[in-house]
A and B are shown apart, each in its own frame.
Chain A
Amino acid sequence: MTQLITANAATNLYWLGRYLERIEASLIDINRAYDNIIDVDQNEGVALFEKLGIDIEYTNSSEFLNVAIFGDHAANLFDLLSCARENAIVARSYIEAEAFGSIIELHQHFETAQKNNFYIDFRFVDTAMSLISEIWGELTRKQTRNLHDYFMAMGKNVEKVDMSLRIGRDKEFALIVMKEIDTIVSILAPNASFKPHDLNESDEVILASINNKINKIITE
């Protein structure tokens, strides 16, 4: 039987994959910067956020953690997580119950810190990272793949490409992920055709191609 899913649920799953990936990747970068700020390079946090076009200020490593995660800027992780939670609630009937529960738990972890003005430390980040790993594990531990799993996988991969290109990490890596995206697109839209990308293409061309693919898959 054809697997059915509404465009709305598909879009929410796609964005859930993107937000979770962005939060995880950001936490990894923040953790690395935090570690270096302690005794290697005090400006590493500033440099990291500059790549995102955000100015931040801090006086020590602890303050950096708090500003990086809860600061008043566009990359505030609690805001991103609130969006992920919203996506999960809307698409709840397509998500493994355990994974859904862990997303709520992750949100509660951030919310408690935010509401109570906790001064967060490395343990907060460790717990968050563990919960994200649990979520990915819970989402992928099934023996079979459903159609809706691919929307989330696509979101995760698109975010990987986006972060790689925006932070200027590794274009080659981005192109490898693009191939994975193409595989997913061929499952979700079997009649779609596309040409492979190469290193000479600009970041803008690659990102525009992703948007085209998504528009081919989900028809609102």
Chain B
Amino acid sequence: MLEQSTSHIGKFWEVYQKQDRNKIEEFTKYMDKFAVNFNLYKDGNFIERSLPFDVVPRIIGASEFNKMDRGLSQRVKALNLFLEDLYTDQKIVKAGIIPSEFIYQAKGFLKELVGHSPSKKIRTHINGIDLVKDTVTDDWIILEDNLRVPSGASYPLSIRDTYRKIYPEFFENLKIEPIKQYPQLIKESMDYVNCGGINVVLTPGRYNSAYYEHSYLAETSNALLVRNHELVVKDKVVYFKNYDGKLIKVGAVYRRLDDEFLDPNFFNPESLIGVPGIMEAYLAGNVALLNAPGNGVADDKGIYYFVPQMIKFYLGEEALLRNAPTYLPYFADDMKYMMENMEKLVIKDVAEAGGYGVMFGHSMSKIQLEDLKTIIKANPRRFIAQELVEFYDEECYINDKLVPRKADFRAYVVMAEEPKVWKCGLTRYAMEAGNYLVNSSQGGGFKDTWVMGE
């Protein structure tokens, strides 16, 4: 189902009709030339592929985006306060808002970090919040918070760059918010928490799925792109190793690897991509890590359920953006509801991400549903269930035809002193009609998002 056309969308098609259709080919060629890649590992093989993209943008009006902006800022502020509280006073647990089991059993909770406050008490520096627009209420609904290592921001930056070159007419005739400030937001965030020294982007390396993005963001935010062995830790201080062997102090690390692999001395000893000793430097307050280790507990799918209550607890406000109706089998009433309505729910494994571990009740057989019920009863903390949100499709130009495809939206909220919402985001669409999974790792494509000026 497509959203009702707005004056902005009408204006887009008006300009679009006047364009030379052959330019689409030029557009594709330009994107290929700059190797906008999302690498995949399939059956143990490394596959380098261009991320599929679409030339028809998602268009969001100014007042609609401003409303979303307020809701996202509120949410990220609350999540940051939650994390700070959780690793220090744990007031929210003591107040009985979140059952302690949900914290201590969360995979992302790192008990080793209890008692530590990071630089400026900021933990949620760069956040990717996934939303969809509900066809019933016309509201934006939060599906997921990504507070660890959210990726994808470089793709809209690249497609916008291409768009402006190939189709300047749109930007001359429509009031589209510019988006080039994103790397500057990243830089501000790094500078704000920097503990003295240079900024670096730590990448797992060339064969990571998002290496293109790591390289792009390092270049544009004026940070150095490094791999683990290009950083050394001495006396709890992190240094960058220059080509000539000189050591330069590092003040902030925008790390693009998960907690588990960050430091083999502290986390997984078998990690080959981590920096030995970096956690010791972090805990000594000598380096800032973006995002803070231990954030995984806040983007846990089980904790998601409690975010509206967190907002109330920390900010004394009602949540401006709604969650999708969610059920936790941990609570008896929710378990009962789930068991009775499994075929119409979406069941998610809280330990999975990237579209993995998502099961749609309506597409499962009776035997599969019964098996799943048994598994859920045995592991109530491992699953959540959500009502299937019917969200809008976006028009996509696929195989020379305009077709509707399910599309979500990842908003980026970057935090320095205050959270700032980037006036763009990653719109991801499913390649096949009717598919609800839009993740890049599930073969989805992306398109530009135009936020219109006032």
Name the residue of chain B whose CB is nearest to the CB of A151: B243
Chain B residues near A7: list those with CB within 8 A: 230, 241-243
Quick check: B206 and A104 within 8 Å, CB to CB? Answer: no
Quick check: B219 and A6 within 8 Å, CB to CB? Answer: no
Q: Determine whether B278 belongs to the interface, using a CB cutoff of 8 Å to chain A.
A: no
Q: Determine whether B240 belongs to the interface, using a CB cutoff of 8 Å to chain A.
A: yes
Quick check: B219 and A218 within 8 Å, CB to CB? Answer: no
Quick check: B33 and A219 within 8 Å, CB to CB? Answer: no
B46 to chain A, nearest CB (A): 12
Quick check: A217 and B206 within 8 Å, CB to CB? Answer: no
Chain A residues near B34: list those with CB within 8 A: 97, 100-101, 104
Which one of A4, A101, A219 has the greatest number of beta carbons of chain B within 10 Å?
A4
Chain B residues near A104: list those with CB within 8 A: 32-35
Chain B residues near A4: list those with CB within 8 A: 198, 224, 240, 242, 248
State which of A93, A101, A218 has its C-beta within 8 Å of the C-beta of B225: A93
**Helix, strand, loop or mixed for chain A's interface?**
helix
Which one of B32, B206, B225, B227 has the greatest number of beta carbons of chain A within 10 Å?
B225
Q: Determine whether B25 belongs to the interface, using a CB cutoff of 8 Å to chain A.
A: no
Quick check: A92 and B241 within 8 Å, CB to CB? Answer: no
State which of B33, B212, B216, B241 has its C-beta within 8 Å of the C-beta of A6: B241
Quick check: A5 and B243 within 8 Å, CB to CB? Answer: yes
Q: Determine whether A105 belongs to the interface, using a CB cutoff of 8 Å to chain B.
A: yes
**Helix, strand, loop or mixed for chain B's interface?**
mixed
Which one of A2, A90, A93, A104 has the greatest number of beta carbons of chain B within 10 Å?
A93
- A6-18 vs B: 1/0 string, CB under 8 Å? 1111100000000
CA distance A185 to B219 in the complex (A): 25
Name the residue of chain B whose CB is nearest to the CB of A12: B206
Q: Determine whether A89 belongs to the interface, using a CB cutoff of 8 Å to chain B.
A: yes
Q: Determine whether B76 belongs to the interface, using a CB cutoff of 8 Å to chain A.
A: no
Quick check: B33 and A105 within 8 Å, CB to CB? Answer: yes
Known interface pairs A4-B198, A6-B226, A8-B230. Does A93 touch B242 (Cβ–Cβ under 8 Å)? no
For the complex of A and B, the 3 pairs showing the least CB-CB separation, nearest first, are A219-B245, A93-B219, A10-B243
Listed in ascending order, the chain A residues whose CB lies under 8 Å from chain B are 2, 4-10, 86, 89-90, 92-94, 97, 100-102, 104-105, 108, 188-189, 217-219
Listed in ascending order, the chain B residues whose CB lies under 8 Å from chain A are 32-35, 198, 206, 211-212, 215-216, 218-219, 224-227, 230, 240-246, 248
